[in-house]
Amino acid sequence: MVDHFVIAGARVFDGRESLGIVDVEVADGRIVRVGGSRHEGAELIDGTGATLLPGLIDAHTHTDADSLRQALAFGITTELDMLSIPERMIPLRAQVAESADLADVRSPSFGLTPAGGHPHQLRKGEDDPPWPTAASRSEVPAFVEGRIGEGADYLKVLVEDGHLFGSRLPRLAPELVAATVREGHARGKTVLAHAMTVAAAEQVVDAGVDGLTHLFFDRPCPAELVEKIAAAGIFVIPTLTVIASITGQPTELAEDPRVRPKLTPAWLDNLSGAIATSPPENFGNALATLAALREAGVDILAGTDAAHLGAPGMAHGASLHDELRLLVSAGFTPLEALRSATSVPAQRFSLDDRGRIEPGRRADLVLVDGDPTRTIGDTLSIRQVWRGGEAQRRFFAV
């Protein structure tokens, strides 16, 4: 491991803006200098023809150790898990803390859903323990305290009737969503909501949630709902990747030669599939809603909903690059798309040590050939990845 090095000759996107070609110096796992005079004692890494980015953040996954390792090979240095089993997540986080070859992870532990509610219909055969829930407002404080006791970084509620997935499910009552928001906020926790229909989104926005973990796409979005989201400062993780899968949109990502060597045949097959339980025209609803949210100034965070094998259309790591492509195809500039996977999620999830290239931050960095601030697809042309200043040797020559 090289403790002290300078990346020279690369364009630098600092998480907000393009700085042009400047040196970035790293020592002991931290960024110590951006620009200025070059330190003579540091190893020099040639970044000519490349762009240096902050480590990418996938703001919506469901993960494990193999997935975090795979994500890191694609330059994703942090995954924000959006629902986990504590018996698995707690030891995983301990493993992450001791290892430099896994992406970092945050999680809400169990999300609040009714007995038999989403996503139980998707988790058959996953050998889950009994999930805690709350059937009345009086049970919500214990639910919230339980998740915090398991190390939850934020809280999540799931409002889903299942029809977008071709099923019928019990739906979380509005008063339980509101009670979770109150209890979570009283304990200083951000509260996020799964809400993929307009009706569900209206419910959780009125309850005061801080973020939506998907776009809602069953019908065109009322302008009043966009205005409410913007006025309340709620952020949105669109997960266009999973919505494309749900609506049967094709992806060619598995055929990209920059992707294929980094995925197993099983993951390539998974990435090539689709859920296809919702009409294709609903993808147009998602794009129109996203355009309206962008125009209203709502913070947009890039996330994929990549999960386990058997959740088709996605793969940890690779799919975030497709999410960035989809954001640009929906009208975002490449700079806006890059912010959605770096500084914006870092700011909204209070990850103050990452998401930017500036002195004092963790040296979570990605060096890519080309210039993704102009051509977003260049994010996949990865030359090197560093997590905490340590160069990754899997798939990369160091």
Q: Tell me the three state secondary structure of residue 32.
A: strand
Q: What is the pLDDT of residue 175?
A: 97
- Cα–Cα distance between 389 and 1 in angstroms, integer? 9
Beta-carbon contacts of residue 23 (< 8 Å; ≥ 6 apart): 6, 7, 8, 33, 34, 35, 36, 38
Judge contact between 341 and 320, C-beta under 8 A.
Answer: yes
164 or 107, greater pLDDT? 107
154-165: average pLDDT: 93
Confidence of residue 120 (pLDDT cuts 50, 70, 90): confident
Amino acid at 93: R
**Dihedral sign (CA 81, 85, 96, 394):** negative
Angle at 108 between CA 102 and CA 110, to 5 degrees: 110
Tokens of 335: 């700079």
- Identify the weakest region by mean pLDDT among 22-31, 161-170, 222-231, 247-256: 161-170
SS3 content of the chain, % helix, strand, coil (to 5): 35, 20, 45
CA 365 to chain centre: 16
Distance CA 108, CA 158 (A): 12
CA distances from 359 to 34, 259, 392 (A): 7, 32, 21
Enumerate domains of the chain plus CATH numbers. 1-55+354-398 (2.30.40.10), 56-353 (3.20.20.140)
pLDDT of residue 1: 58
Give the predicted TM-score (pTM) of the model.
Answer: 0.97
pLDDT, position 127: 82
Q: What is the pLDDT of residue 375?
A: 98
Query: What value does the mean pLDDT take over residues 325-340?
Result: 98
Q: Are strands 56-61 and 382-387 parallel, antiparallel or unpaired?
A: unpaired
Residue 337 has what pLDDT? 98
- Bridge partners (DSSP) of residue 30 are 27, 362
Confidence of residue 397 (pLDDT cuts 50, 70, 90): low
pLDDT tens-place string over residues 340-384: 999 999 999 999 999 999 999 999 999 999 999 999 999 999 999
User: Which of 110-119, 176-185, 229-238 has the lowest average pLDDT?
Assistant: 110-119
What percent of the chain is predicted at pLDDT more than 70? 99
- Concatenated DSSP letters for 261-325? GGS-HHHHHHHH-----S-TTHHHHHHHHHHHHHHTT--B-----B-STTSTT--TTHHHHHHHH
| Cα–Cα distance for residue pair 359/235, rounded to 1 Å | 27
Predicted confidence at residue 394, as pLDDT, reads 75
Q: Which residue has the tokens 């490449």?
A: 334
Helix residue ranges, H only, 330-387:
334-340, 343-348
Interval 57-107: pLDDT, tens: 999 999 999 999 999 999 999 999 999 999 999 999 999 999 999 999 999
Determine the pLDDT at residue 114.
95
- 121: pLDDT strictly greater than 90: no
Segments in the chain forming alpha helices (H) = 65-73, 86-98, 140-149, 174-186, 198-207, 223-232, 240-246, 265-272, 282-295, 318-329, 334-340, 343-348
The CA–CA distances, whole Å, from 246 to 61, 80, 83, 269, 311 equal 16, 21, 19, 16, 10
| Cα–Cα distance for residue pair 398/384, rounded to 1 Å | 8
Query: How many whole angstroms from its chain centre is CA 300?
Result: 11
pLDDT in tens, 204-214: 999 999 999 99
DSSP for residue 112: B
**Which of the 8 DSSP states describes residue 376?**
G
pLDDT more than 90, % of the chain: 90
Q: Using CA atoms, how far apart are residues 344 and 337, in angstroms rounded to an integer?
A: 10
| Mean pLDDT rounded to a whole number for the chain | 96
For the record, the structure tokens of 346 come out as: 């870092």
Residue 144 banded pLDDT, cuts 50, 70, 90: very high
Dist. CA 138–CA 121, nearest whole Å: 27
In whole angstroms, give the CA distance from residue 177 to residue 273.
33
What value does the mean pLDDT take over residues 289-295?
Answer: 98
